[in-house]
Amino acid sequence: MSITEADPAALERTTEMFRALSNPTRVAIVRELAGGERAVHELVDALELAQPRVSEHLATLRAARLVERHRKGRSVSYFLVDNHVAHIVEDAIVHASEVD
């Protein structure tokens, strides 16, 4: 299928996905979640960022329908909606590494 044959709605969703991934912190979050579901505090510790910043980035990823959340009492954990996003991110990192 060529880009001219692609569904316009699918192209818009693709653009939305790349827009959501256009921040290094959000890419790092996706990489963390590729290893499985993580509580917010685990992401805060792994990324060494303040909880409000991590939550802000998670909200962006959630709005783009790339991650979802589970509430467990007072704790909230996040997971990737599907592993395609993790593969896209890893492929992009490999590509960027090869360009240099």
pLDDT tens digits, one per residue of 58-91: 999 999 999 999 998 888 999 999 999 999 999 9
Q: Which residue has the higher pLDDT, 28 or 10?
A: 28
**In which domain, by residue range, is 78 found?**
3-99
Contacts of 37 (CB under 8 A, 6+ apart): 70, 77, 78, 79
* Per-residue model confidence (pLDDT) at position 24: 97
Q: How would residue 4 be classed by pLDDT, with cut points 50, 70 and 90? A: low
Per the structure, how many domains does the chain have?
A: 1
Q: Which residues pair with 77 in a beta bridge?
A: 39, 70
Query: Residue 1: CA atoms inside 13 Å, Cβ hemisphere, count?
Result: 7
Position 7 scores a pLDDT of: 86
The yes-or-no verdict on residue 2 having pLDDT over 80 is no
Strand segments (E) across 8-86: 38-39, 67-72, 75-80
pLDDT number for residue 22 = 96
* Helix 24-33 vs helix 51-63: crossing angle, to nearest 10: 80
pLDDT tens per residue across span 37-60: 999 999 999 999 999 999 999 999
pLDDT exceeds 60 at position 1: no
At 43, which CATH number? Answer: 1.10.10.10
